[in-house]
A and B are shown apart, each in its own frame.
Chain A
Amino acid sequence: MSGVPVHLLDRLTERYSPFLASVPEAHEVALEAGESRYLHHIPGSLLRLEESRDDQGEVLVSHNFAARRAGNHGRLLLSAPEDAEDSLMAIENYLRWTLADMALDHGGFIFHAAGLAKNGSAYVFFGPSGAGKSTIVSLSPGARILSDDLVLVLQGQSGWQAATTPFKGMFPQGAKDRAVYPLAGLFRLVQSPSLALAKLPVGLAVGMAMACCPFVSDPLKRHGKLMKLVEQCCRETGVSELRFRRDSSFWNLVER
């Protein structure tokens, strides 16, 4: 990352440095001051991210940044480089966008989910907003938090894996480093007064999982590749619907 304003260096280093690597596949992005505003944003409403593609590469625009990417290089134009929080959010969104495609290029995908590791295995819990991802994390004090927001799911040599991501969620991660665990299961969350675990048909599971993949609105046409990977992961790992109540008893079901 080049062109980083001095006042952001410490914050960026704290959050992302364990995840940076100098390998040929690494991505380089140049930060620059941009226009004062891009998309209109109504305070309190959901953040808008608009993707497109032209002959120079892919474009992502939000209210406070515009980004262009071609291959392993990108430019990120910040509306308010002097505003640390605003700029950090723009950088975070650029990295999420880029990681989504880098993961696909490497046979993986990022998943809007809570990832927890226990006894050497990863358990990934997903569902729409309000399904209970943060609740699951708060009910699991003995588990390592991979992320309560975005989990990286990858194909390893011996099966599917789940990895930490540096992205900001509600809970602090157990350690700010890269860690990968074998994926023990995917669980679609349903809050319920009773506890139950039921295996989902693969088709339904894929539909539910696809709905939790970021950038699911897809002018960049990544869905064909993504759906194949999600299907493979669902088929090989297994997806269950987890009905859980507000205590840690669900672990007795998911760890079986």
Chain B
Amino acid sequence: MFDPKLYRRNPDVSWRLIEGQAVLVHNREGEIEVLNEVGSYLWEHAGEPLDGLSGNISQEFDVSREQALRDAEEFYQALVASGALQPFNEK
């Protein structure tokens, strides 16, 4: 299970929230990611407990809490793979 407390936003990623969409620029690689509404919400709240986040997503969108939790975990793991999130102990 993904533990959000162990990860943080990579300080080498510049980002802005624009009309509900988070735009991420990986400073070293020059890669750009544009997140959708749910992804942007999760990005903004990275590090917070998944239970609360998935509960909020479940209320806001037509999706079960369990599905929202699975999606959030998968999404955060994708962000770790892309380097947008990194473990706290990594510089």
A residues contacting B by CB (< 8 A) are 201-204, 206-208, 210-211, 216-219, 221, 223-224, 227-228, 231
Docked Cα-Cα span, A206 to B32, in Å, equals 10
B residues contacting A by CB (< 8 A) are 14, 16-23, 25, 27-30, 32-34
Chain A to chain B contacts (Cβ below 8 Å), 15 pairs:
A201-B19, A201-B21, A202-B19, A203-B18, A203-B19, A203-B20, A206-B23, A207-B23, A207-B33, A210-B23, A218-B28, A223-B14, A223-B25, A228-B16, A231-B16
Knowing A218-B25, A223-B25, say if A231 contacts B30 (CB, 8 Å).
no
Docked Cα-Cα span, A206 to B29, in Å, equals 17
Contact A227 B19 (CB under 8 A): no
Docked Cα-Cα span, A21 to B16, in Å, equals 36
| Chain A residues closer than 8 Å to B33, beta-carbon distance | 207
Contact B21 A203 (CB under 8 A): yes
| Chain A residues closer than 8 Å to B28, beta-carbon distance | 217-219
Contact B16 A204 (CB under 8 A): no
B38 to nearest A CB, angstroms?
A: 14
A245 to nearest B CB, angstroms?
A: 27
Docked Cα-Cα span, A68 to B14, in Å, equals 25
Contact of A216 among B17, B30, B34 (CB under 8 A): B30
Contact B30 A218 (CB under 8 A): yes
| Chain A residues closer than 8 Å to B25, beta-carbon distance | 210, 216, 218, 223, 227
Docked Cα-Cα span, A228 to B25, in Å, equals 12
A231 to nearest B CB, angstroms?
A: 6
| Chain B residues closer than 8 Å to A203, beta-carbon distance | 17-23, 34
4 smallest beta-carbon distances between A and B, as pairs? A203-B21, A207-B34, A217-B30, A223-B14
B10 to nearest A CB, angstroms?
A: 13
Contact A211 B16 (CB under 8 A): no
| Chain B residues closer than 8 Å to A211, beta-carbon distance | 30, 32
